[in-house]
């Protein structure tokens, strides 16, 4: 895994950890807390999917340029 992949993994893990800690420290009922955690995790996963798709597009473009040489 390259530098970009390592950075992306760290970013996602840090965001998940930070989001969960913030939710756990906030005074809420159990159901509200679970809903907030689920929403936060869903948002982070979507960001990860978008970043992965962008990386895939960039790699495909590079590969196509190399094949064209």
CB-hemisphere CA count at 13 Å for 58?
8
- Nearest CA to 20 out of 36, 9, 8 is that of 36
pLDDT of residue 64: 92
Q: What is the pTM of this model?
A: 0.54
The predicted-structure confidence for 5-59, as pLDDT tens digits, reads as follows 778 778 888 888 887 787 777 777 778 878 888 888 898 888 888 888 888 898 8
């Amino acid at each position: 895994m390259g530098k970009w992949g390592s950075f992306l993994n760290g970013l996602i893990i840090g965001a998940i950890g930070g989001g969960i800690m913030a939710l756990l420290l906030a005074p809420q009922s159990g159901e509200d807390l679970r809903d907030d955690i689920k929403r936060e995790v869903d948002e982070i996963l979507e960001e990860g999917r978008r970043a992965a798709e962008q990386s895939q597009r960039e790699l495909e473009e590079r590969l196509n340029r190399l094949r064209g040489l």
